[in-house]
Amino acid sequence: MAASINGVGGVGFGGLTCSTKTPLPSSRSSSFRVQMSVPVEDKKRNYTLQKSQEAFNAALNLMPGGVNSPVRAFKSVGGQPIFMDSVKGSHMWDIDGNEYIDYVGSWGPAIIGHADDEVLEALAETMKKGTSFGSPCLLESVLAEMVISAVPSIEMVRFVNSGTEACMSVLRLARTFTGREKIIKFEGCYHGHADPFLVKAGSGVATLGLPDSPGVPKATTSGTLTAPYNDIAAVENLFNSNEGEIAAIILEPAVGNSGFITPKPDFLEAIRRLTKENGAFLIFDEVMTGFRLSYGGAQEYFGITPDLTTLGKVIGGGLPVGAYGGRREIMEMVAPAGPMYQAGTLSGNPLAMTAGIQTLKRLKAPGTYEYLDRITRELVQGILNAGKKTGHAICGGHIRGMFGFFFTEGPVHNFDDAKKSDAAKFVRFYQGMLREGVYFAPSQFEAGFTSLAHSPEDIQKTVAAAENVLSKI
């Protein structure tokens, strides 16, 4: 596939170099040529990111910070943002020809592996019929039935295009149904970039050290109450001081946006009890954990059924998608069945539905989650053992195909605990692992992900690389 970008001198995609039309209005030099695709067989080369550097310099003139999502800019780990050229299975290749074992998985969706042949084949067949209809299609109902049958809390579902959109919509729904306005969220939990959630948020907000975001009106966040994750007493106090005013609690049942943090044994049960006692909804943000911790998500894994659930990532199989769902009586408040308005031109588009259907079919196969659990345990335990062997304070854990670790003795129960991790050491570790051909999320405050495509050999190579790097930092 070839593409041209106006204003970037000679950028080529897929091995084709394209000329451009107009120079960039900048003092930076914009005249360069990058051969984006490099034969992956040519692996015996010195580690270099020269072409990524050239591409990033051009991108800085085209997009804010040179990226379309902040964490990709490598601000918290330093060095050069990496421009990827291709992916397959558990591996990625950048435009300089470097190969990596990937533990980001497009931030979670690639649970069966990148560019899966069966998914690609199904997408190719679907594309012959068109990419977007703007009207109902049967594929929407197929995926809806799969989601409803899998997720305990969902009796009806509405598809959207992103996790942010799902969380924004479910919040509006909770307020509509309860007639209340206030919500409780947890410090370091990220529920997308809608205004009400950008209060003590995780993910890129935590990565860049942004406490909140300019441009968010105080009135928009005045109804957002926060508590430390895993702190039941703090939640009780919020209910007591805001009696009859709280519409819902929204949380990540296992946190992925402050690094990977699991709930204490009784935490989710206590939250479920408090919401019922106070007439508030419990919302599980399962954009990360849905279909990853188990086929029925974190709610099936932990045995706690929320009132509403948001989904994303995995259910799109690598294409943009989100969803929210819950009990029928609640969901029937959504237009056109009810008064709460929410819409989306590309919601339920046939490509995203197809990728989601094929992905969920694969996940339902026997042994799927046992395999994810086994390889992820070996990975995390191997890294922790390597850290301790080489004299570093380190802790971490996993659930099925989701994991994380921190450079601190721990334990880590909330965002404040996570911030005790040695950020400078993480940077050295991260850069060392890149040179060893291992790609983790470029932030201490992001979870990692394994996939069905990760082999025992991938895990062994990663653990060996980690011990090598940790012995030198």
Active site residues: 190, 285, 313
Amino acid making up residue 150: A
**Which DSSP string do the residues of 200-254 spell out, in sequence order?**
S--THHHHTT-SS-TT--HHHHTTEEEE-TT-HHHHHHHHHHTTTTEEEEEE-SS
Nearest to 426 by CA among 410, 411, 415, 441: 441
Q: β-strands 91-94, 99-102: how paired? A: antiparallel
E strand or H helix that includes residue 284: strand 281-286
334 to each of 53, 173, 193, 343, how far by Cα in Å?
47, 7, 22, 10
Q: Is the dihedral of CA 122, 128, 132, 138 positive or negative?
A: negative
CB 83 within 8 A of CB 446: no
352 to each of 155, 296, 355, 457, how far by Cα in Å?
21, 20, 5, 31
CB 447 within 8 A of CB 110: no
3-state secondary structure of 148: helix
Alpha carbons 358 and 55: distance in angstroms, whole number: 34
Alpha carbons 203 and 417: distance in angstroms, whole number: 15
CB 261 within 8 A of CB 227: no
